[in-house]
Structures are given as C-alpha cells and as structure tokens.
Structure 1
C-alpha cells in the first residue's frame, strides 16, 4: 500500500521517462493531425494525409475541406480543425461517414462501357429557399459496371435538430463529357434512423426508374473517453466540530510514477452530518489511475473549515477493478495519527460504494445505432386564452389554406422525431377542454375523439387527430401542466429499463401556467426518468414563468429537492414567425426548420445524460428488443399538411396500417379508461 503522505498535490502528471507513452500515427501536417477526424482514425488504418487539390466548400457554417486522407483503402475529404468556440456544437453533433453502393443501373453508354461515379450534395434550411444544393463530396469512378460499390467515403457533420437533405447523383464518365444515370434524395435522419443505419431508394432520371442506391452511415468515434462513475456515502464519521458534528467532503488522488499524489476529484461538503450522501460524480480514468484499473488510488475524507484548515477524518485506498468486482463495497476510513496513539482504535467511519461503473463518452448516435427509439407524445392546450375557435384571431382557428401556429409547431417537431421510431406511432392528447355533452374539464384526453385512441401514425395522423379535437371540444381551463407531466412521467416509467425507448413530450401552449409550483414538483420527480419535455409557446404572451422551467443556468428545484437532470426546453414560436404578414410556403418551411432546430437542440444531451445516470451502454447494432405485436392505427390527413413523407403512412387505406416485420414487433401500451367511460386516456 502506498503511503498517504502527499507531496506537491497540484503537480501535473510527471510520468517516469522509461514508461512507454501512447503512440499516435504520424501525419504529414500538424494542422491536419489536430483534426478530430484524423485523431479518430489514428491507429485504425491511417495510411497517409495529403493536401487536397480539389478544395470544396461545405454549407454555411460547416467550414472548408482542407485535407484528404486514405484510410483502410478508402479516401475521405476532411473538414478543418474545430475551434474552441465550436466545442459545444461538437458535443451535440457527430461526424458521420457515408458509404454508397448502387444496383441495376441502366446502360446509358452507347459503347457499352459504363463508368459511374456519385456526387453528393446537401441542402439545409438556409439553402432550401433558393432550392440550392452544395456539393460535399464525390466518389471515385469505377469502370465498366452497373453495380458499383464505391470505396470513397463521404464525411459530414450530423445534427439531430436539423433537416439535412442529401442528393445523390450518379454520372457516367464519357470521355470529356458526362451523362447523368439517375438521382435520388433522402434525409440524413432517414439513414441514421433505419435499422443498421442503412437506407435504399430508387434512382430516377426523366421520370424513369434507373436502379437503386443504398447509403450507409457510420459515426466516426473521435477518441472516446472513459470515466468512472461513483455513487458514494459515508457512515459513523468522527465528530470534529464543537457541536459534535462534521462537514465532510472527499478528495480523490492519483498516485504518480514518482510517488507524488495528484488531485483527481473533490466533492462538495455536506453541512452538519456524520452520515453524508454525496451527489453522484465521475472521474476520468486517466486522471484517476492512468487508465490502469488495477492501480491503487487514494480517497481522503475531510471536515470542512471556513479558514481553509480542513481536518482529516480518515483515508483508504482501492482500485477500479476491486470496486467493479464488488470486493470493496465498504471500506474503513483510517486516520493513521489516531491509530498510532491507541491500540483500541478501529476506524473513523466507513465509506460505502453504492454504485461504481465505467462509462465511455457515448453519443446520441451510438444509442440510435444500437436501436434506441424515441417515444414521442404531443399535448395541446385547449384553454380559453386561445380565444374562440370561430374567430380569426384564435390560435386554434381553422383555415384550409394555411396552418395555424399549433399545426406549425406539431409538424416542425414531429417531422424530425418520426424518423427515430420504426413504427412512426405518436401519442397525441389535449388538456384544459370540455368535451360536450360532458361539462367537466378534462386533461390527457385523446385528440382523436372519433376513435378514442391517442395513438397516431406519422405527422399526418397527428394533424388529423388535432383537427378532430379542434372541431369538437369546448375551450375551458385552467392551464394546468402538472396532470400532463405526471401522466407522461408515468408512461416513461413504464418503458423498458434497457435503453430501448426514450420519451419526448411536446407541450404546445399559449399562456401562463396556473399551477407553476405543482408543475415544478412533477418535473423534479420526472428528472430521473427517460423523458425530455419540450414546451413551445404560441401566441404573443411574455411566458416569463415558463422560462423558469428551462433550467439552463441552474437546476430546477421544488420543496428543497433539486432535479437530477435538466429535462425541459422552452421556445417561443413567435421568434420564427414574422408578425402581421402572410407567409409563403418557403417562409413557412424555413420557420419550421428553425423552430425544430431550437426545440430539439438539447434532446441528444438529455438522452445521453439519462443513459449515463443509469449506466446503460448502447446495444450492438441490430440487437433485437423483446416486444409484442402492435395493432392497426388510423393515419389519414384531411389536408396532407406537415407530412414530408407520404410513404410513411404505409398504404392508402386510412383505417389500416400494414407494418413492416420490424415495426410489427413493437409493443403498444394499453391505455386506461377515464371517467368518460369508453374514452381512453393516452
């Protein structure tokens, strides 16, 4: 056992000069070597790096390709090194690699020798209005084949909250000229949301079928980092203060190669307790033990004093592997000074390790690739503050020629989320309304009052259900959120605990919450569940109280208890809609894209923070989940507004749904019956 005597605790890592150091493959240029993608490929077949002769620009804000590499026989174009200002965006995005193949291309070369290559372009919200595409890469040319499998990979940055449409054009090289063989487009969401991250679509040219193209997306790991996650408490600590209490905190040290100690982590102190329970924390494994799980590290417990002269309670040593194997669940905290003075001395308390596990820095895409699906729900505010629906000023006013603000919000968010659920089944319900002839105010009633079923298929199914409720309910109140969040939390708690499902609740409202304290309490309770809550404010109220729920700067609290995670995101729709003027279709599409980008921005981080808190790792791609068969779901739409993909309805019959083999295995929850008898609360 190493002595707990410390020397120069703030000293940086000073490894022994003879100790082997980690080796990184050498590259041609230092600037390129610092590129995160190069670092991700380092040690995995990186062969060479060279300047790119053909410098191509990506879409605005994405940078310039500044290098080209060859990795495992494949060629990549690389974006430049990311600056410190972009680190937050980097954490919420991912570098993906596209692999492209085509089958059954049609012969377009009169000489019979088809030499195909593929050009890939992207169009995002800022480019859609001009119907503009920007090239992000192209494959090599293959000779004399109608079934090409290109080796060149296309690199791009994936953003969950954005609609990134890709265009794939296949050309035949004919001497100094070229002839297009076919074209197809698809959303990046469609690719990464598919099983095995693979999407196949038909190629067309001049309205004629020209074969198929298959695109596979793979995330590039940018040097995953491993941490050790601790849930720790202590019992029966020595009394240190004048009043017989203690203000304990922990300091964790790494043993350096030269015998010195380096501080790896310090907890907050607990006031006036001999039995503290510290908040869960994590320590980077290199900071803890140089990545060696059999290397001892030191834990010291102190009594905090405001003069900085903290008193040592006791210390212990252990290793990561001993903790992982359960050998050191409880360890005595020993004060050597006290032990040397008394033979009867045993210890100064005990430290308890309730949960210890290693955690890789997994990303949102890791879980999506492993089969995690989003369980998406929508809750609509039908309170009186929306104004009578027969008035044009009502936020619920129906106009067959244009969408109201509720429809815009529904379509914007659901259009992205639908790609992350294989069945494309959403739950939709309303709150704060009377349902004639019943005179009571109801919460969590299914929007589709014709079927009394809260489940809807796709974006069109959601919008159809909304219009059914819009035509039949009577606006009432008050604007209580607590019942809706409580019900969503109950649904989230019923999801499998294996990471296969994660709930996203979208609440669309027009006014001030009337039960703010009860709402805060429900959010704090729900912060331990697989749930994210998105609140979109429509209309022109200030929504000051709503902003309290979006705890970006500090954790939400209620009755002295703090939320375990930040699970709420609030956005006002009016930020994206120009006031007092009609919107063109292009304006509307841009507004929807910008709204979706903001409201969904925090979901990837919220999902991964939940998985980390529960120690859930992503599954291997394609691993099946045990689920039960689903049931037919209505999915017709009176106007077809908001559904970007009519094929998602899986058939022309409004009342039937032909499931794919994968979606038919999904379990649909049973809804309980509410006070209206046959109507089911969703």
Structure 2
C-alpha cells in the first residue's frame, strides 16, 4: 500500500478502526398458532449462526409466558463484517409444549446482514414461514460503538513558575487509567514556551483511545514544565472523566494540584488552573451509516476472453464449462459477487468481456457487453452474469491482447458522471478476472491514477497458474503507483490476488475489507 495512502488514511483513523460493526437485532412475532386449547404458548426465540456448514446457537431471548404475539426485550448483538456472508437462523420455540426445547415453529432467514440495512437507520424485515398465520419481524440497528472522536482543547492560568530566569514552559499530558490500575498515555500537547497561562492547540482523539468507550473511566491529567535535558519539572495534576467533560462541554476548570506542596505548605491552594476550552464530539460514520443513508455499491464484472485461456471446448481451458462444477472464472465471480450484490438495491450488474473477437464482424473488443446488449449490459444478479457468460462463450473467438485500460476507463466514466450529481451516493467496484499479464500497462496505470480520484475500486483476480508478479505493481503494495507522466494515485484503489490463494478465506476477506477502507477514504476526502 502506498505511503501517501497510509498517511492520509491514518489521519482519518481508518487503520485504527476495527473491520467490524456491532449490530443489534430485535425480534417480535405475531400470530403464533395456539395448539393448546387450554393455554397459550410460552415462546422463546433462539438465534443461530452458520459456520463451516453447521448451525451454532449464538443466544436466545427470554421466555414470554402465554403470548401469541410476543415482543422480546432481549437484544441480540452480533458482529457484522462487510467482507463476509453471515447466515442467521431464528428458531421459535414453545417452551410450554416441551421442556427440552423442541421447536414449535422454525422461521429462518438465510441472508447476509446488508439486506437489513438499505433504507433507514433502523431497519426491519418480515419473515413469514410455512405456517401462514405467523409473521416475525427482525429489526436491525447498528450499535453505537467507540468509533466516535472527540475534539478537545485546554488552556491554563496562573501555573507555578519553575524556572529561575524565565517563566515555565508548560505542556499537558492526558492518561487513561486502565482496569488494572496502569495508565496509558492518550495525548501530549505541544509545549508553550515562557508562559504561565498557556493556550494549547486543540486535538482529536477517538473515544476508544481516550476512555475505551467508557465515559466514566478515570482520566489523569498532568502538567509539566519542559526542560531541554528531559528532566521535566512536575507542576501539578488533576483527575476527571469524559462524562464530566461532556457535561461541561467547555468552560470547565480544574485545580492543578501538586500533592507534595499540598502536604508541606499550610496555605497551599493549587499550582494553577486548567480550563477546558473545547469539547466537541465528532461522529465517525461507519460503513452501515452510508448504506443505511442510501449509498449504493455498483458492481461491474470484466472477464478475460483472450486466447491464452485455451479453447473453451477443451477440458484444459480455463473457460471450459464443466457439467458438474464451475470453472475458476465462475468460482471467483461468485466468491466476490455474492458479497457485493447485497449492497445493490436492484441487483443488476453490468458484465463486460475483453480480448475477444465478437460478432457480427468479429473485430477485437476490449469492453463488449457479455449479453451482447451494448445499450443495456446489465445482468440480473450474479446468476444472471453466470448465464450471460455461459451463453457468450460459444459465440465469440478468444483472441487478444490483454488490455484492461478500456474497461477501467468505461467504469470510471460512470463513476465520474455519478460523482458530479447532486446526491453522489454511489460507489463503483470493478471486478476484473484475467489469466495473464496485461499488455497495456502504461495505459492501465494512467486509467488507475485517473480513477483514484473517483468513487471507485478495482479488484483484479488472477486466474490459472501464470506468473502474476508484474501485476503487483498495480496493487501499490510495493510503492506508490504513478502514471507514465509521474502523477501519483490519490488512493490505492487496486487490489490484486491470484485465485489460487482464494483457498485461504482470509484472502477474499482482505480483498473486500480493503475495498471498504477505500470506500471510507473516498468519502472521507469529500
């Protein structure tokens, strides 16, 4: 990843933030069948999550006695990862009918979390299982975490003078007191030279760093007189909490106390006053905030149809359509596409091919619609892309060269057009599937540098066993990618990985997590 990107992203707090969000799920049911004529059911809901093909219980609600329309007070809190499909199952049990917990009904939603989060800050969907009288509502809400920041500023007045020939050179340190009694330095201000009433610059710090998200956690603040030899003179200290700061917002004052002076000096009052001049909470918007606010992910696929893939009719070809299992192109498409499709409301995906001779005149094209409808290259879902790909293969001639700049520019044009609209709430992800080294490297570098200024990311997956070492340059992990004219990328928007590494689940997660970071970085610059 380029140094320029790391530096700017770190400034925005992107790399210090966890790659997950916590989501609260609340469940309510209506119309549970009353099988016992003498009593109503005692319902309970069990939440399960799928892992490695098996369902495991995560948690369960309380039992509500005698209710056919329970609203459970228990809140399920689950970790939400953008880069993973997380399948949930909600089981409804009538505890009164069987103390062993055999389910009276089972309503199941095997869906990734993003499907809960398209329209509002608090979202819900209704599940209607086979028993038509039962309707169950699951409401999802992002849990307020510790990702918010606070901007603080302090000043002081009448500090003790520690220097003989001049005034003190004060600076302030803030420590978080941990559960084990240790203290972690949170922030150190700049030193104000020769001043007993300093005004320090404001600074920003995450609430997670400041107080681990616990507003009542003790904070220890110390004021020192700076000395060039590093043996700074202690002026005084005070204790506070973020809760206290937030209540005051600004204007709060603390006595700066030197404990030794407090014991030794009979008339000692303090060693000066420290004043809070600014306390401003800064909301750091999460990925879900953008999605729930209406932001859409526009997913586009580009497939390499060059001759180096081999004749699709030959079983050795990378494009060979096996009757019983998908080829590597399809596996890669599904692996990435199944994540991205949940963030697109209409789930219509443009699919393009490059490097093939196409009908009717069989000229080489590097950005043709796989469904051969140039006016509407969109396919209905990932399955639609799969079908268009399979139908396309017999109609084209694999050729070359492997030029990807045209397809990057095509998607960049769409992103540029969207960026200049009033709403500007779309982000484009281009998935390029290719079997070899690209042949238009200079043009591709130029296209990527241009696209780095747009709401766009590029995922390149290398298919087959070729040597993809030259492709790493586009990724930017080995340095800053530059155009042939020397212009650097604004953001590191390209992620490359050979498909053979996809057997490691973390590789797929890393690709999509990186896109998430690029997403934050783009909107953070606006």
Q: Where do 1:602-617 residues align within 5 Å?
A: 602-614=514-526
Which residue in the other structure is 2:87 paired with? 165
Q: CA RMSD in A?
A: 2.8
Structure 2 residue aligned with 1:186? 110
SS in 1 for 2:136: strand
Partner SS, residue 600 of structure 1: helix
Matched, 1:176 2:88: no
- Report SS of the residue matched to 1:121: strand
Match 2:28 to one of 70, 81, 101: 101
Deviation, structure 1 residue 110: 4.8
| Alpha-carbon distance in structure 2 between the residues aligned to 1:516 and 1:256 | 55
How many positions carry a matched residue from both structures? 397
- 1:449 is paired with a residue of what secondary structure? coil
Distance 2:377 2:115 in 1: 28
C-alpha displacement of 1:160: 0.9
Conserved? CA contact 1:191–1:217, under 8 Å: no
Q: SS of the residue aligned with 1:186?
A: coil
1:503 aligns with 2:428: yes
Quote how far apart the aligned CAs of 1:400 are: 2.7
1:98, distance to aligned residue in structure 2 (A): 0.8
SS in 2 for 1:394: coil
Work out whether 1:113 is the aligned partner of 2:36.
no
- SS of corresponding position for 1:203: coil
Structure 2 counterparts to residues 203-222 of structure 1, below 5 A: 203-204=129-130, 208-209=131-132, 211-222=134-145
Q: 1:43-77 CA deviation, whole Å, 9 max, x = no partner?
A: xxxxxxxxxxxxxxxxxxxxxxxxxxxxxxxxxxx
Deviation at 1:185, TM superposition (A): 2.6
* Aligned positions of 1:11-30 closer than 5 A: none
TM-superposition CA deviations, 1:5-47 (whole Å, max 9, x none):
xxxxxxxxxxxxxxxxxxxxxxxxxxxxxxxxxxxxxxxxxxx
Out of 470, 473, 492, the position equivalent to 1:548 is 473
In structure 1, C-alpha distance between the alignment counterparts of 2:203 and 2:434, rounded to whole Å: 42
Q: C-alpha separation between the residues in 2 aligned to 1:594 and 1:452?
A: 37
Relative distance call for 1:176 and 1:374 in structure 2 (3 A) is same
Q: Secondary structure at the match of 1:494?
A: helix
CA distance in 1, matches of 2:337, 2:308: 25
CA drift at 1:401: 2.0
Per-residue deviation, 1:517: 2.2
Higher relative contact order (CA 8 A, sep 6+): 2
Residues 256 and 516 of structure 1: CA distance in aligned 2, closer, same or farther (over 3 Å): farther
1:248-647 mapped onto 2 (5 Å cutoff): 256-258=155-157, 260=170, 284-285=203-204, 360-449=283-372, 453-495=376-418, 496=421, 498-552=423-477, 554-558=479-483, 559-576=485-502, 596-614=508-526
The answer on whether the counterparts of 2:115 and 2:343 sit within 8 Å (CA) in structure 1 is: no
Q: How has the CA–CA distance of structure 1 residues 554 and 193 changed in structure 2, closer, same or farther, with 3 Å as cutoff? A: farther
Cα displacement (A) at 1:538 = 0.7
Alpha carbons 1:359, 1:612 under 8 Å: kept = no
1:461-487 C-alpha deviation (Å, 9 max, x unpaired): 111111122121111111111111111
1:379: Cα distance to partner? Answer: 0.5
Deviation at residue 142 of structure 1 after TM alignment? 1.0
Between the aligned partners of 1:151 and 1:100, the Cα distance in structure 2 is 8
1:91: how far off?
2.0
Gaps of 5+ in 1: 1-86, 229-252, 266-282, 291-356, 578-590, 615-682
Q: Distance in 2 between matches of 1:424 and 1:416?
A: 12
